[in-house]
Structure 1
C-alpha cells in the first residue's frame, strides 16, 4: 500500500513539473544575482592578481577556488610577487614550479571564511572568545618525507600530537596542517602588546595595525561566493616549525644534536603506513618522529595542545635555543664536569630542554613574565642575550648567546644531580619528596651535606631498580625495613642534610654551633657542628660524627661532601634527659628526679608519657635552684620553708603536682632554640580542667631564649647547658620555673 502511494506522489510531481515552463524552473533555481563570484573569479576580475592566478592553476586549485568551499585567502597581489621574484632571484611567475606554486597557494588558504574583524577572535568549543586569536590553520601540510636516519633511508612523518605516552603522539587523519600568524590591533590591545612585539620579529617591516607575517593587508574583506579574500602585500612560503628550524640552522647544531640523540625516536606506525601506501601505491613503512613523553610538547607538532580543536588559534609554543658557542661552554663547565655525555641520565636531557621550552607564545615585551617548563622565570636579557627571533608555523623561536641559568644546573642540588657518585641521593631528591624543589631554589641560600652512594650503601641504604623500591638493612644486622619504611627513613636523614643558610652561616665549620635543618616552612631537626665535623642526635648516640671531605660552592649556597649520615636518634628523649642528670653535680638532677618517680615515666624504657618518637618537642628543665624555688612556691611537693624536694610523694594530689609541673615544661609540636625561628605562644603537654591546652610564651633571638608562663614567671636558658639534642627534641636548662597557675 505504502509503495503505491509513493509511486502516485512521484507521478503527480512529474506531471506538475512538465506543466511548468522551463524558464520558470530555471528562474527558481538560478544562482541569485546578488551573490558575489567565487574566489578565483573575483581575483580574475580585479586585475592585480595575475601572478597568483597562474600559481592557482599550476597548483590545481582553479576548480576548487572557482566553485564551492568556505575559505579565507591571504591573497598576495602582483606588487607582492614583483618583490618575491627579486628576493628569489627569478624573472617571472613562469619560473615557479608546480610544487612551489602549491606551497604558496595552500599556505595562503585558511580554513573557513573570516572577515578581518573575526580573525582576532578565537573559535573555542564553548563559543567565540573576542580578541583572543592571532593564528589560523592553513590548507598546507608537509606530509610524508624521505629521510636518512642513522644511515637508514626511511619515510618519516611528524607527530601531530604531543607525546603523553602510549600511542597518542600520532592521530590518523590529522594532516598536521601549518598555521599562519597575523598581528592585529584589537588583539594587541586586549593582550597589552605594542608595535615592538611585531618589530622584534620583523625588524624590516612596518607595523600597520593588521600585518600578516612580514606583510600587511592592503584591501580587506573582499567577499566571494566561497569565502573572503584579504589582499596582502607579501608572498609567503609555508613557515617551518621549531623542529625544522633547528634542523636547518647550523648555529644551534650542538643543542639539536643533544635533543636528537637523547629525546627523539622514530617509531613505526601502522596507521600512517596504510595512509602512505594507499596514497602513493608504494610499499614503504612509515615512521613517526616522536619527541620524548617527558617533554611538555613535541617540536614538530603543528597543533597546539588540542585540549580544544582550535586552541592553536589562541596560543603557540616557544623554544629558546642557545648557540653553539654558549652551549659548548655550558657543556664543558657545567654539564660534563663529572659525567661523560653517554653517562648522563635521561632526565638531565629532559630537564635541559624543558628549561628552554615554554608552553605558550612568549611575546617580546613580556619576556620576563613567562615561566619555562620547569616553572622558572626566563633568565635572559632580551636586548643583549637574544640573537634572533622568528615566528614559525607552530610557535616562536628565540636564538640566544647564553644558556638558561636553570636552578637545576646552578644550585646545591646540582652537586648531586650532575655527579654519578650521588645517584641515590638524587633519586630521593626527585622521588616526589619536594627536596629537589627546595634545594634547587636559586633565590634562597642553602647548605647541603651530601653523602655518596658508597656512604649510603655502607649504612644499609640502597634502591632496587627491578622492583622500583627503596631498601634499608641495619648495617650491624637486623630485620630489613619495608620499602615504605626504608624510603621514609632515608627521607628523614637526607632532610637533616638540608639547611637554610641565608647569611652563609655554615661557610666556616671550624668552630662549633647548632642550626635547624629542613626548609624554612617545614622545619627539620637540629644539627650541630664542631671543628669541621657535623652531627645530629643519632650521631651523638652512636658517637660517629660526620667528617667533611670537601665542598663545592654553587649560586645558592655550599655543598659539603660527608663520610656519614646526619642520623636521627631512635631512643626516647627520656634517655637523653637521664644522661644529662647522671653527671656528678648535674643541674638537671632535681627535675629528672621528680620525673623518674612520676606516673608519666616508664623507667624501663625511659619513656615519658605523651612524648612520642618522631614528634617535635622542647623540654624546659629548671635548674636545681629553680626547682627549690618551685617547691617553696607550692608547685612541687617538698618542704615549702626550706625548699627541700620530695621526689617520691605518696599522696595523689602531690603526685598530680609533679605531673602537671613536668607537662607544663614540655612544649609540644615545636622544637625551640635560640635562633629566632620560633616565637610567640607554644602549646605544652598540660591541659586544664576543661581539657583545654595551656601555653608558654617563647621569646627567641640570636643567642637569646626565654620562656614566660603564668604569673609572668620567666625562665631564661643557660646557654652552655642548653640545646642538648634528642629525637626531634631539644633539652634546655633554664634559671627559673614556669608557673601554670594564676
Structure 2
C-alpha cells in the first residue's frame, strides 16, 4: 500500500501539470496578444522612419505614453513631407509645444476605426451605414480671455450645450472628413468638397484639406488604427471664434452678442486655478435659447450622444455692408418714423426683429453647397441665396461657415406678414396674429394672400390693446370678436391674380369663410354696410403694396367689421316695399311664424356661426311659383297669399324657403365653388335636398335644381346679389328652384 500511494500521487500530479499546461495554452490563445497584432501606434510610427516631426510633436504634447500603451485611437498621421510643407506655408522654423499639442490632439479621435467604418454613424442603436462625416477629436479649448457684455475683460469658457452647460463635457472639437461612401450616399460630389477646398483634389479619401494615402490607411496597431495623411491638420475655429476673428462680419457679430450671457461657474474657476496656479472667476459664455443654437457649442443637438458624427451647424454670415443695406431697406424702413435709426435702437424696442434676422442666417443642420435650394434655416425658410453670393467658405469645428454679400431675406420680413411684423403702427394686430396662431400661413411663400392691416389707433378705438405684462392673455378686449375681425382681413388667393382694387370690383372670401367686397378703391364688409353714416359704409383704400413674395397688402384706415344682425334683417332691408326686389319672398318669410322671428330676424334652421347662401327669386318669379302651385295664392293670377295659415300652405312656404338656402357653405360669383350643395330642406327621413352650382365665374353664377331646371343669379349693376350678411351671402335669382319631396 505504501509503495502504491507514491506512484498514484506521481500520476495525479503529472496529469494536473499536463492539464494546467493545456489550459494555459487555451488561455493564451484566447486572451493572449495575437502574434499578428502590430506594435502600439507610437512604436509603429517610429519604426517607419518618416514620421519624425509628428513624433516630436507627440513627445512635446506629452502623448508618447498614451500612444505607446493600451487604448483605442484613430490617428491621422502626417508624414515628414507634410510637415515640411506646413512649415513653409506658415513661415515657421519649428513647432512650439502649444502648437504640437494642437496638432497631435486634433489628429487623434476616439476609438480605433478603419476607413470603412468612419462613414458609419455610431448611434445608441448601433452603426448606421454611410451617414457620418465627422468624429470627435481629443482636442478641446479651455479657458480664454474674453470681454463681457459691458466690455470688461474676463476669463471665459464656451458652453457645450444649446442653452445650458454640462460639467462633464469638455466641448471637444470635431474633425470633418469627406469619404466616398458618405458622399455618394448623401448625393454629394467633388463640387461640395472643392467649394471649401478649391485647390485640393477630391478623391473620396479626404480629411479636411488632407488626403489619406491610399496604400497607407488602416494600419492596425495594438491600441488603434493609423491613417497616413499628406497634410498637417490643426484644429479649426468654431463658428463663434471665426465670426469674432473677422472684422468684415463685426456688425453681424454685434447682433449675435445681444443674445450672449456670461454665467459664473465655480467648478471651472477651481479647475482653472488648479491647472494654472492663478485664481480667477471663469464665466461660461452661453447664447440664448431664442437663437437656433449656440455658435460656440462644439456638440450637436445631443438627441443621440454621438449625433455630431452625422450633423453639424451652419451659418451664412452677411458682411457689414450687407447687414447695413438690409437694415436700411427692410428692418428700419418703418421704424425711422418713430425715431429708431440703428439696429441697436431697434433691439431695444423690437428685439424679436433682431432675433428673427439673426436666426434667418442660422441652420441647425449641415448646409451643403449642393443643397442650398432645399435646406431650411432655423426659421423653416429655404435658403434664398445661391453659392454665387458666397464670398467666404470654411469647414469649422462645429459646422460650415459661409460669408455672404447679401442678407437672407427671411419669410417673416418678405411675405405679407412682414408688413405687419415690421411696422410699429400695426403692433396690436401683429401680437394678436401671434396670439391666435394665425401667422404661419401668412409667412409661407407658397401660400398666397391679400392682407388688410388694421392700425393700432383703429383697434384701440374698438377696445383692443396689447399688454405684454399680462402673460397669459396679453391681448385685451373681446378675443372672440377680435379673432373674427382679423380673419376677415386675411383673404386667401390660391392661384388667382391679385384683384384690381384700384379700378375693379368684386367679392372675396376671407380666411374664416366670410366675404368682403371691393369696388374702385373702396372696401366693404357686412359690418361696415350696416353703418348709419353713409361715409362709413365703405373703407377707402389708401395704398397697395404688391412687393411681398406671396401676395399683396391693402391699406385702409378703418376695420372691416362683421354684422351682428341676423340674415332676415338684411333680407328685410330690400323686402318691405312692394317695389323692393325681395318683397314677395320676404313677405312669405315674414308672415311665417314657424320659420321667422319678426323681432330678431332669425330664420329657423339658420344657426349662428354657420355659413349659408340665400337665393331669392324675383317678385315675378314668385308669382310664377304661385301659379305653378309651389306657393299659396291664386294659381290663375299668381297673386301670393302671404298670410296663409293652413297646414298645407305653411308646409309649402317652409319647403320653398328652405330649398332656397344652402346650408354650411357660401357661394358667390368669384369663380371658386361649383358642384353639389345641401340645402336646409330635408325629407322625412332626414336626407337633405340638394342643388348644383353648375357654372361660377366673376360674371356668371348658374344653379340646377333636382328637376334639372337651370336658374341664373342676377349679377347686373342694379340687381341685389352678393349681398353680405351674417356669415351669409344673399343672391337674387331669375326663377325659382323646385324640389321633389
The TM-score, its normalising length taken from structure 2, stands at 0.90
Which secondary structure does the structure 1 equivalent of 2:409 belong to?
coil
Deviation at 1:280, TM superposition (A): 4.3
Which secondary structure does the structure 1 equivalent of 2:181 belong to?
helix
State whether structure 2 residue 36 is matched by structure 1 residue 42: no
Number of the residue aligned with 1:526: 515
Deviates more, 1:654-663 or 1:118-127: 654-663
CA–CA distance in structure 1, aligned partners of residues 255 and 321 of structure 2? 14
Deviation at 1:34, TM superposition (A): 3.6
Which secondary structure does the structure 2 equivalent of 1:320 belong to?
strand
Q: Deviations over 1:98-118 (max 9, x none)?
A: 111111110000001101111
Deviation at 1:37, TM superposition (A): 1.1
Q: 1:77 aligns with which of 76, 79, 89?
A: 79
Q: 1:353 aligns with which of 353, 358, 369?
A: 358
How many residues matched? 696
Q: 1:402 aligns with which of 386, 400, 406?
A: 406
Which secondary structure does the structure 2 equivalent of 1:450 belong to?
coil
1:370-381 correspondence to structure 2 within 5 Å: 370-381=375-386
- Unaligned 5+ segments in structure 2 are 1-15
State whether structure 2 residue 555 is matched by structure 1 residue 561: yes
Deviation at 1:730, TM superposition (A): 0.6
Q: Per the alignment, do residues 662 and 282 of structure 1 end up closer, same or farther by CA in structure 2, a change over 3 Å counting? A: farther
State whether structure 2 residue 484 is matched by structure 1 residue 487: no
1:56-205 correspondence to structure 2 within 5 Å: 56-91=58-93, 95-149=94-148, 150-163=150-163, 169-205=164-200
Partners of 1:463 and 1:469 within 8 A in 2:
no
State whether structure 2 residue 718 is matched by structure 1 residue 725: no
CA–CA distance in structure 1, aligned partners of residues 272 and 480 of structure 2? 53
Number of the residue aligned with 1:642: 637
Number of the residue aligned with 2:9: none
Deviates more, 1:398-407 or 1:225-234: 398-407
CA–CA distance in structure 2, aligned partners of residues 372 and 32 of structure 1? 51
CA–CA distance in structure 1, aligned partners of residues 452 and 723 of structure 2? 21
Deviates more, 1:57-66 or 1:497-506: 497-506
State whether structure 2 residue 464 is matched by structure 1 residue 461: yes
Number of the residue aligned with 2:12: none
Number of the residue aligned with 1:328: 324
State whether structure 2 residue 600 is matched by structure 1 residue 632: no
Which secondary structure does the structure 2 equivalent of 1:42 belong to?
helix
Q: 1:497 aligns with which of 489, 493, 501?
A: 489
Partners of 2:508 and 2:515 within 8 A in 1:
yes
Partners of 2:113 and 2:225 within 8 A in 1:
yes
C-alpha RMSD of matched pairs (Å): 2.3
Number of the residue aligned with 1:513: 506
Q: 1:580 aligns with which of 574, 585, 594?
A: 574
Q: 1:55 aligns with which of 57, 60, 65?
A: 57
Deviation at 1:38, TM superposition (A): 0.9
- Unaligned 5+ segments in structure 1 are 1-15, 164-168, 474-480
Number of the residue aligned with 2:222: 225
The TM-score, its normalising length taken from structure 1, stands at 0.89
CA–CA distance in structure 2, aligned partners of residues 308 and 30 of structure 1? 35
CA–CA distance in structure 2, aligned partners of residues 617 and 454 of structure 1? 33
Q: 1:306 aligns with which of 302, 309, 315?
A: 302
Q: Per the alignment, do residues 135 and 669 of structure 1 end up closer, same or farther by CA in structure 2, a change over 3 Å counting? A: same
CA–CA distance in structure 1, aligned partners of residues 277 and 122 of structure 2? 38
Deviates more, 1:279-288 or 1:144-153: 279-288
Q: Deviations over 1:659-702 (max 9, x none)?
A: 11111111111111101111111111121121122221113112
Number of the residue aligned with 1:13: none
1:666-705 correspondence to structure 2 within 5 Å: 666-698=661-693, 699-705=695-701
CA–CA distance in structure 2, aligned partners of residues 275 and 431 of structure 1? 46
Deviation at 1:638, TM superposition (A): 2.1
CA–CA distance in structure 2, aligned partners of residues 31 and 122 of structure 1? 29
Q: Deviations over 1:226-274 (max 9, x none)?
A: 111111111111011111111111222211112212x222233445445
CA–CA distance in structure 1, aligned partners of residues 126 and 256 of structure 2? 38
Q: 1:420 aligns with which of 413, 424, 431?
A: 424
CA–CA distance in structure 2, aligned partners of residues 689 and 36 of structure 1? 92
Which secondary structure does the structure 2 equivalent of 1:524 belong to?
coil
CA–CA distance in structure 2, aligned partners of residues 347 and 270 of structure 1? 33
CA–CA distance in structure 1, aligned partners of residues 63 and 513 of structure 2? 71
Which secondary structure does the structure 1 equivalent of 2:138 belong to?
coil
Partners of 1:551 and 1:560 within 8 A in 2:
yes
Deviation at 1:448, TM superposition (A): 2.3
Deviation at 1:738, TM superposition (A): 0.8
Number of the residue aligned with 2:528: 539
CA–CA distance in structure 1, aligned partners of residues 474 and 647 of structure 2? 49
Q: Per the alignment, do residues 735 and 32 of structure 1 end up closer, same or farther by CA in structure 2, a change over 3 Å counting? A: closer
CA–CA distance in structure 2, aligned partners of residues 271 and 554 of structure 1? 54
Partners of 2:491 and 2:510 within 8 A in 1:
yes
Q: Deviations over 1:406-464 (max 9, x none)?
A: 22222222222112211111112222423x23333334543322122111101111123
Which secondary structure does the structure 2 equivalent of 1:326 belong to?
helix
CA–CA distance in structure 1, aligned partners of residues 520 and 190 of structure 2? 62
CA–CA distance in structure 2, aligned partners of residues 487 and 201 of structure 1? 53
Which secondary structure does the structure 2 equivalent of 1:52 belong to?
helix
Q: Per the alignment, do residues 315 and 511 of structure 1 end up closer, same or farther by CA in structure 2, a change over 3 Å counting? A: closer
Deviation at 1:547, TM superposition (A): 3.1
Deviation at 1:366, TM superposition (A): 2.3
